[in-house]
Structure 1
Amino acid sequence: MTPWPTVVAVAVLSFALKAAGPVALGERELPPRARVVIALMAPALLAGLVTVGVAGDRWRTVDPALLAALTAVPLLRWCRLPMPAVLVGAAVLAAVVRRLTT
């Protein structure tokens, strides 16, 4: 069995869900609280996907260097560093942790 029927079904469902919002609301604006929740859904989903990708199968293959780098990114952004400096800092931290743990 090929995965294409599933891919097409997910694409159609995604399109239908995206179209349902404007159809249901029409010209009305969302309440501010709903806009905040919707705005936070994408970062929360991304954080979950990154966590699962980093942790591996049942948290057995956690890479300490990658975990340290991913922890450093929001901390460096909180310090208002520009994104290139954040990426370099996270890469350097990952290299140092990898060197210390091998």
Structure 2
Amino acid sequence: MNLWWLVIGTVVGCYLLKLAGYFVPAQVLHHPRIRRLVELVPVALLAALVVVEGAANGRHYDLDGARLAGFAAAAVAVWRRAPFLVVVILAAVTAAGLRAV
């Protein structure tokens, strides 16, 4: 039952955080520093999630060569501004190809 209390607490916390966003004055959001921060936070969180999923398995580091090669191929494709679907397919083909060998 403790897990359910954690889930319920997280749901309530997320809802209250979203609700608090409606009470922030518009003048605060138009400040250049705040606007830049608001634009960069989702990108940083997504990048951190991708790196953690690419280099960890549960609570342990899992520096699998095929997974890291797929991650590197995807990073190069993103750097070269490839479309998202191409990035995903390239990473999957690279990792699968190296695991098949």
Distance 2:87 2:53 in 1: 21
Percentage of matched positions with identical amino acids:
37
CA distance in 1, matches of 2:16, 2:85: 38
Shift of 1:23: 0.8
Counterpart of 1:28 in structure 2 is 27
Equivalent AA in structure 2 for residue 85 of structure 1 = V
- The runs of 5 or more residues in structure 1 that have no matched partner are none
> Which ranges of structure 2 fall in alignment gaps of 5 or more residues?
none
Separation of aligned partners in 2, 1:81 and 1:47: 17
Deviates more, 1:8-17 or 1:41-50: 41-50
Q: For residue 79 of structure 1, what is the aligned residue in structure 2?
A: 80
- Normalising by structure 2, we get a TM-score of 0.74
State the 4+ residue runs in structure 1 displaced beyond 6 angstroms.
Answer: none
Task: Measure the CA separation in 1 of the matches of 2:32 and 2:17.
Answer: 21
Shift of the 92–50 alpha-carbon distance from structure 1 to 2, 3 Å rule, reads same
Q: What CA deviation, in whole Å up to 9, does each residue of 1:26-59 have, x standing for no partner? A: x435112212212221222222233333322332
Per-residue CA deviations over 1:47-101 (Å, capped at 9, x if unaligned) read 2233333322332x2222112212222321222322332222222221233244x
Aligned residue runs from structure 1 range 1-102, under 5 A: 1-25=1-25, 27-28=26-27, 30=29, 31-54=31-54, 55-56=56-57, 57-59=59-61, 61-100=62-101
Q: How many residues align?
A: 98
Seen in structure 2, the aligned counterparts of structure 1 residues 89 and 24 have a Cα distance that, compared at 3 Å, is closer
